[in-house]
């Protein structure tokens, strides 16, 4: 039934609805990232960063297991009904999250993200299964490409809309952050609505195709009986089949080889997983390591780019003109000549500090400095004492630092963050633009396994460049976007070619669960590497991402070897490969008369 759906024109409407349905998911997934600063202002706490990371952790951890069962339910209950269940969970999760922000409660916000996570990854699984049913054959990669492109637009739109809503749309009882999250809930409501629209379309198509298949079955049986009644010789059988063609040539063309392929009625078990072949497991491994240097990199990209390009550490010869100025009680407020500004070789008027793109220096120690008597300053603490000030001591949300002792530092930090945030959007912009085109090409030229190994090669170059060179990050980020788009264009459409049709949902669930293992664990590894390197990302974290990409190259090579041994399905255009063509054998007399 699945491949018959791919003959119906209504598939394009299903694709459109499936794309709109995913916008809510991608838009809301990155709500915390785009609202990070506003949330910190709304709910300041010493544990803010921990709570903030938990918003992502609680999303990912259950998804190390859940999508596997979600995928199984997709196969068992049918993908369309699962779209409604998972879209409802997303909406419910976002409502609880927004409510939590309205009442400024971390427990509610975290609970909301758990519920959102229960729906989020499973919705991707169900939606992949729906697209696989409707587009398997010659257009699957194109359908996935269009889908990813529109989904990623959701992420990009969120980056611009949510902070703007949070800044401009606060009402008396609703703070700006909660307003932005309620807008997300509204978008999720729209997604649920589109899920409801897909169900009747899918049901009607399934019924129509079942009726067609039954009609052809009945016609075939009755003509066979007629042929036998009329003497049963081969000649009369042949003319009977000529008759079948005349009556239902078009319907036969879509269903002739599929008469016995009604997967909906086959028994589906979780244990089917053990029949998944080596190609599926290699795809999963590839997904784990290659996505591991794409999505987690994106979460840290802002920090990495700041450290590498826009907020570089100044040399040790760059010092303050008066490093103890804050300590001596001369806390300058909005001064043109702030105490935390380097004046270089003061006698000669030469600066030892490089200037643009470097972090300004700040006081090295503070001894009981207070804000007392300084007007226009609202400081968090009554007095500040540090024998050694490090960058992690500086809280730019506290007026003491941002308007006083580290004004230049905080201003430059804010500028660097804005620049990094816009530059780090490059890979997702590229993915939104390129994915449909790449999908179209993959459907026409195949070479899925080849591309799955070339994309990580490009990622090796990207992360080596980011880790060990100091030039502009634009070229490597364009490379990251192209490699990511190429990889996604071949990975997801390859899954249906690696398992039986009845287990496609389970397969998508399992690969997503494996991917989420990486998405939950890799960020923890990156934070550990950063802490172990004195709070610096570079080069160690980039060495880690390079290692992931190199593993992707290796797995890609194995994928090509095993794919070639199994008939070259992944690298073929239609995903059938040489073996299946050979398996079909010579045309039967029945089909040739």
Ligand X SMILES: NCCCC[C@H](NC(=O)[C@@H](N)CCCCN)C(=O)O
> Which positions lie near ligand X, rule CB under 6 A?
25-26, 29, 120-121, 124, 128, 144, 147-148, 291, 488, 492, 512, 515
- Nearest Cα to Cα of residue 422 among 559, 302, 242: 302
Could you tell me the smallest distance in angstroms from the CB atom of residue 576 to ligand X? Answer: 21
Instruction: Kindly state the DSSP code that residue 263 receives in the 8-state scheme.
Output: G
Q: Which is nearer to ligand X, 292 or 577 (CB)?
A: 292
Peptide bond into 504 cis (omega under 30): no
Minimum distance of ligand X from residue 366's CB (angstroms): 42
224 by DSSP, 3-state: which?
helix
- For 345, the 3-state DSSP assignment is strand
Cα 111 to Cα 97: distance, rounded to the nearest angstrom? 7
Q: Least Å distance between CB 519 and ligand X?
A: 7
Nearer to ligand X, 282 or 488 (CB): 488
Question: Which of residues 102 and 122 has its CB atom nearest to ligand X in the complex?
Answer: 122
Q: Smallest distance, Å, CB 26 to ligand X?
A: 5
Q: Compute the distance between CA of residue 242 and CA of residue 257 in angstroms, rounded to an integer.
A: 17
Q: Which is nearer to ligand X, 120 or 479 (CB)?
A: 120
472 CB neighbour count, 10 Å cutoff: 10
To the nearest whole angstrom, how small is the minimum distance from the Cβ of residue 100 to ligand X?
A: 20
**Shortest separation between residue 500's beta carbon and ligand X, angstroms:** 19
Residue 90's alpha-carbon distances to 121, 189, 270, 519, in angstroms, are 10, 9, 25, 19
128 vs 206 by CB, closer to ligand X: 128
Q: Which is nearer to ligand X, 126 or 332 (CB)?
A: 126
Angle at CA of residue 382, ends 342 and 380, nearest 5°: 75
Residue located via tokens 């085109």: 437
Smallest separation, CB 219 to ligand X (Å): 38
Query: Residue 386 pairs with which residues in a beta bridge?
Result: 366
Q: Cα(first)–Cα(last) distance of the chain, in Å?
A: 26
Helix locations, 230-276, DSSP H? 234-255
Q: Percentage helix, strand, coil, to 5, in the chain?
A: 70, 0, 25
d(CA 490, CA 339): 55
Nearer to ligand X, 114 or 564 (CB): 114
Nearer to ligand X by Cβ, of 102 and 515: the residue is 515
Alpha-helix runs per DSSP H in 230-347: 234-255, 278-292, 295-305
Closest contact distance (angstroms) between CB of 295 and ligand X is: 6
């Amino acid at each position: 039934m699945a491949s018959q759906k791919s003959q119906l024109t209504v598939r394009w409407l299903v694709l459109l609805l499936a794309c709109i349905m995913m916008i809510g998911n991608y838009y809301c997934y990155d709500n915390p990232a785009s609202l990070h600063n506003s949330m910190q202002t709304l709910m300041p706490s010493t544990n803010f960063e921990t709570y903030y990371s938990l918003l992502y952790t609680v999303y990912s951890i259950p998804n190390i297991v859940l999508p596997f069962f979600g995928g199984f339910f997709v196969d068992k209950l049918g993908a369309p009904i699962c779209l409604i269940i998972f879209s409802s969970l997303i909406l419910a999760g976002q409502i609880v999250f927004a409510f939590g922000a309205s009442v400024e409660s971390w427990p509610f916000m975290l609970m909301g993200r758990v519920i959102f996570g229960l729906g989020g990854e499973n919705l991707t699984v169900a939606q992949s299964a729906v697209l696989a049913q409707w587009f398997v054959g010659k257009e699957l990669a194109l359908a996935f490409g269009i889908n990813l492109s529109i989904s990623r637009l959701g992420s990009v739109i969120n980056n611009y809309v949510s902070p703007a809503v949070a800044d401009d749309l606060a009402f008396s009882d609703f703070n700006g952050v909660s307003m932005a999250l309620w807008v997300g809930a509204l978008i999720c409501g729209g997604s649920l609505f589109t899920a409801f629209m897909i169900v009747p379309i899918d049901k009607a198509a399934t019924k129509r195709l079942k009726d067609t298949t039954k009609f052809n079955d009945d016609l075939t049986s009755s003509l066979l009986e007629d042929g036998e009644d009329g003497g049963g010789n081969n000649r009369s059988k042949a003319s009977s089949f000529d008759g079948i063609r005349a009556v239902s040539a078009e319907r036969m063309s879509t269903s002739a080889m599929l008469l016995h392929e009604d997967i909906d009625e086959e028994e589906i078990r979780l244990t089917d997983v053990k029949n998944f072949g080596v190609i599926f497991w290699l795809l999963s491994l590839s997904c784990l390591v290659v996505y591991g240097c794409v999505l987690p990199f994106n979460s840290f990209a802002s920090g990495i780019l700041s450290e590498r390009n826009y907020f570089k550490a100044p040399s040790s010869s760059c010092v303050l003109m008066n490093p103890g100025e804050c300590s001596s009680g001369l806390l300058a407020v909005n001064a043109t000549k702030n105490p935390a500004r380097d004046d270089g070789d003061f006698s000669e008027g030469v600066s030892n500090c490089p200037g643009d793109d470097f972090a300004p220096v700040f006081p090295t120690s503070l001894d009981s400095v207070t804000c007392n008597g300084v007007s226009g300053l609202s400081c968090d603490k009554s007095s500040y004492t540090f024998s050694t000030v490090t960058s992690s001591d500086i809280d730019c949300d506290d007026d003491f630092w941002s308007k006083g002792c580290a004004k230049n530092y905080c201003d430059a930090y804010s500028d660097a963050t804005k620049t990094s945030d816009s530059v780090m959007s490059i890979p997702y912009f590229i993915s939104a633009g390129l994915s449909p085109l790449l999908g179209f090409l993959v459907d026409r030229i195949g070479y899925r396994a080849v591309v799955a190994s070339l994309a990580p090669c490009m990622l090796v170059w990207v992360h080596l460049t980011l880790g060990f060179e100091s030039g502009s990050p634009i070229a490597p980020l364009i490379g990251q976007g192209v490699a990511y788009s190429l990889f996604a264009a071949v990975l997801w459409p390859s899954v249906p070619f690696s398992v039986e049709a009845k287990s496609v949902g389970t397969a998508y669930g399992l690969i997503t669960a494996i991917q989420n293992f990486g998405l939950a664990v890799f960020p923890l590894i990156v934070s550990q590497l950063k802490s172990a390197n004195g709070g610096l990302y570079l080069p160690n974290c980039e060495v880690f991402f390079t290692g992931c990409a190199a593993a992707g190259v290796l797995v890609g090579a194995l994928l090509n070897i095993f794919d070639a041994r199994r008939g070259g399905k992944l690298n073929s255009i239609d995903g059938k490969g040489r073996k299946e063509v050979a398996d079909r054998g010579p045309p039967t007399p029945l089909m040739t008369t």
